[in-house]
Structure 1
Amino acid sequence: MTTVCLTFDFDAVAIWFSTFKQTTPTALSRGEYGVRAGIPRILAMLSRQDVRATFFTPAHTARNFGAAVKAISAAGHEVAAHGFVHETPVGLPIEEERDLLHRSLDVLESVTGKRPRGYRSPAWDLSDNTISLLEEAGLHYDSSMMANDFRPYFARKGDVMTEDRLTFGSDSSIVEFPVAWELDDYPYFHWSARPINPGLRSTEDVFSVWKAEFDAAHAEDGVFTLTCHPEISGRAPRVAMLERLIEHMRAQPGVRFATMDEAARQFKSAL
């Protein structure tokens, strides 16, 4: 059985404010595009396909665009944690990282009525403390690392790296769903002059790459995790391409679509 996890990082304006440090009206409006145009198109398409997805959402997005986040949750999709204002956890003192994590969970729960069960780092990178903090907060899975492609695994904590040796720590209770730049819409589609990111690939190019990746996952009965952003893949031709990909995946035998929480439960129940 192949599991497909469609995920969307609903960054809205937080990524421009925090990660890119661009706060001019046009920069912020690119994040707002995801709210105004991207989310309605994506939700309509997922409804047509009867597919439930996971939306990793900064607390800043939930606070400022609560109606959109409530619409996501009301449609049966999972809302998971994605930082407070799309900040990287790398380099944060443990108390500050803990505070931001718990505050973000509280905000998402106040908007959706459900406590998030998973996390994705806005930086696709973790601090030495992150996995332990996710456990402490009662979360069940993470989707930020790259040690496999189609196989979830238990994230480790306590690794020690020196010039001579990597000493592995112990497995945590956090199920890790690997991510990959090959399966992210950002490098294919996003154009920016600073930092330089050419993007602007055709939908046909990206469809062929993602179809090949899915076909490989399906051949291995793996978990196919796709990462998209409403402000990027919310454009009409890209939503149409994603719908065509879903139809291809659904046409194959032994394929199920799941939220990441559902996939984490399935992974643990199979042990």
Structure 2
Amino acid sequence: MTTVCLTFDFDAVAIWLSTFKQTSPTPLSRGEYGANVGMPRLLDILKKRDVRATFFVPAHTASSFPDMVRRIVAEGHEVASHGYIHESPVGMAIDDERALLNRSIEILEKVAGERPLGYRSPAWDLSDNTIRLLEEAGLTYDSSLMSDDFQLFYARCNDKLSEEEFTPGETSSIVEFPVAWELDDYPYFQFSPRPLNTGLRLPSDVYKAWVSEFDYAHGMKGVFTLTCHPEIIGRGPRIQMLDQLIRYMQSLDGVRFKTMTQATAAFKNQQAV
């Protein structure tokens, strides 16, 4: 059985305020596009194909676009944590990181009506404390690391690195869904002068790349995790390409689409056998 986890980082305007630090009208309008144009198109496609997905949502997005977050849940999808205002945890003091994580979870629970069980770092990077803080907060999975491609694993804590050697730390209870730039729409499609990123690839080229990745995952009965952003994948030709990709995966035997919470439960049950 091959599992497909479609994931979407619903950053809205938070990424421009925090990560990119561009708050003039045009950058912010890209975030509005994601919320007001990209998200409805995306949800319509998922509804049409009867597919459930996982949406990683900064607390700032939930507060700014609560009706869209509630629509995500109403249509059977999962909402997971993506920081408070799309901030990086790297280098953050543990008390500050804990406070922001707990505050973001509380806001998501208030808006979405259910407590999130997963986390994805806005930086696709973690602090030395993040995994333990996720355990402390009662979360069950993360999707920020790259030490595998199509196999889930338990994230570690307290790795040790020196000029002499690397020593892996102890295993946590947090299930890790590995990510990859090859399976992210941002590097393929996004054009941004600051910082410079010159994507703008043809959707047909990206379709071929993602199908090749999926075929390999399917051959090993793995977990295929795709990361997209509503303001990027929501453009007309790209949303059509995503629909084509979903239809292709649905046409094959032994493929199931799951939210990450569903996939986490299946992984833990399998591990317990």
Q: Shorter-normalised TM-score: what interval? A: over 0.9
Q: How many angstroms apart in 1 are the aligned matches of 2:32 and 2:97?
A: 27
Q: How many angstroms apart in 1 are the aligned matches of 2:167 and 2:226?
A: 31
Unaligned runs of 5+ in 1: none
Q: How many angstroms apart in 2 are the aligned matches of 1:179 and 1:249?
A: 19
What is aligned with 1:229? 229
Matches for 1:172-251 after TM superposition, within 5 Å: 172-251=172-251
Q: How many angstroms apart in 1 are the aligned matches of 2:237 and 2:102?
A: 37
What is aligned with 2:64? 64
In the alignment, structure 1 residue 160 sits paired with structure 2 residue 173:
no
How large is the RMSD of aligned CA atoms in angstroms? 0.4
Q: How many angstroms apart in 1 are the aligned matches of 2:175 and 2:235?
A: 32
Q: How many angstroms apart in 1 are the aligned matches of 2:160 and 2:32?
A: 41
What is aligned with 1:126? 126
Q: How many angstroms apart in 1 are the aligned matches of 2:82 and 2:192?
A: 22
What is aligned with 1:267? 267
TM-score by length of 2: 0.99
TM-score by length of 1: 1.00
Q: How many angstroms apart in 2 are the aligned matches of 1:194 and 1:21?
A: 10
Query: Following superposition, which runs of at least 4 residues in structure 1 exceed 2 angstroms of deviation?
Result: none
Q: Partner amino acid for 2:188?
A: Y
Q: How far is the alpha carbon of 1:195 from its aligned partner?
A: 1.0
Identity among equivalent pairs (%): 64
What is aligned with 2:89? 89
Give the secondary structure class of the aligned counterpart of 2:245.
Answer: helix
Give the secondary structure class of the aligned counterpart of 1:19.
Answer: coil
Alignment coverage as a number of residue pairs: 271
Unaligned runs of 5+ in 2: none
Q: How far is the alpha carbon of 1:76 from its aligned partner?
A: 0.5
Matches for 1:24-173 after TM superposition, within 5 Å: 24-173=24-173
Q: Partner amino acid for 2:202?
A: S
Q: How many angstroms apart in 2 are the aligned matches of 1:251 and 1:216?
A: 16
Q: How far is the alpha carbon of 1:124 from its aligned partner?
A: 0.1
Q: How far is the alpha carbon of 1:68 from its aligned partner?
A: 0.6
Deviations 1:233-256 (A, max 9, x none): 011111110010001001111000
